[in-house]
Structure 1
């Protein structure tokens, strides 16, 4: 059960699908206080924080810094449940090959681009980058965020880069698109996905429900 006093901050630094994320969370927690926030004190006062992201990594990191939200987000990763989504997941790592960008450094590792030239899918067609569409996620470790979600469930992806953790122990989900790649990570109070839960139908809604009831 989610209390009406539970506050969930969706970080608005100008680079995320914020309305869809908020609507998805409200569907599973209509009694919660779910806000799209652009002020650091709102991030700091929330019980839980969602860090979405879409677009180019350079723009996302630049916007996070210039918005004044970077330190508040870093504080949240040390003190409360945080859910990273898509580039929000990638930003948690040390570095991205995309424009050679230094990112938040909360998780050790880097983000790399799919290298699929010459590879073909089972139907003979070439792999395309970005990876767009539904794909399976294999749960490589048990985690409370997977509760009620069957292993090998489908989620929706839109990305050209993916995270390569320094420590494989933080990888809790794996997907195959030409090559196997980490599609979900977890460390202490942080859970993050390369896929978009808000675009992933019932499985995505279940993941959001698990996030708002998760007590790391």
Structure 2
């Protein structure tokens, strides 16, 4: 059974629908007692870091995530869930985040230029991922596949060894992360068609 963490950050039902389509049982909850029964955890989300951290603390989900990580429970972070696993986000004037991994979250440069064109922020739409490190959750993905992004901020890991995928949008940024029992993607696999479903399936079968 897969637990999807509900911390009032939205985008939960689309993840649940994708898992159901793949044939995996899941539930959405903010109840720690229920989530502790899950064999693996998905930590999705859209929105702002500050309000997300406030919600996590309100339901004691921040401590639950840390505990699950150190216990070796497989965890998948998606979009905002990827940003919050690091130590600090520049969003909202600066927000201390979970600190499961060392690093920070920064906003795209303004203006964001590419070949004299001003790129829109947030980065919204389809883009490729350059897979730079092999990992069971990201195996067998065609390099020409594109994934769906919606974000204004991106992560800068302190340890570059955790980076599995890099995407270019005006600047190169880390779009896929893996460390021990934790994987995370800046894009939305549940909205990325066949390659996104492949990632979700491989996460559900992964035993770190």
- TM-score in same-fold range (> 0.5): yes
Q: For 1:1-216, list aligned pairs within 5 A.
A: 7-28=1-22, 30=23, 32-78=24-70, 79-99=72-92, 100-117=94-111, 119-121=113-115, 125-216=117-208
Give the Cα–Cα distance (whole angstroms) in 1 for the partners of residues 99 and 130 of structure 2: 25
**Offset of residue 125 of structure 1:** 3.6
Give the Cα–Cα distance (whole angstroms) in 2 for the partners of residues 153 and 13 of structure 1: 30
Give the Cα–Cα distance (whole angstroms) in 2 for the partners of residues 39 and 182 of structure 1: 31
Give the Cα–Cα distance (whole angstroms) in 1 for the partners of residues 203 and 158 of structure 2: 25
Unaligned runs of 5+ in 1: 1-6
RMSD: 1.2
Change (3 A) 1:183 1:118: closer
Kept in 1, the 8 Å contact 2:162–2:179? The answer is yes
Aligned residues: 206
Give the Cα–Cα distance (whole angstroms) in 2 for the partners of residues 193 and 145 of structure 1: 11
Q: TM-score if structure 1 supplies the norm length?
A: 0.92
Give the Cα–Cα distance (whole angstroms) in 2 for the partners of residues 118 and 159 of structure 1: 14
Q: TM-score if structure 2 supplies the norm length?
A: 0.95
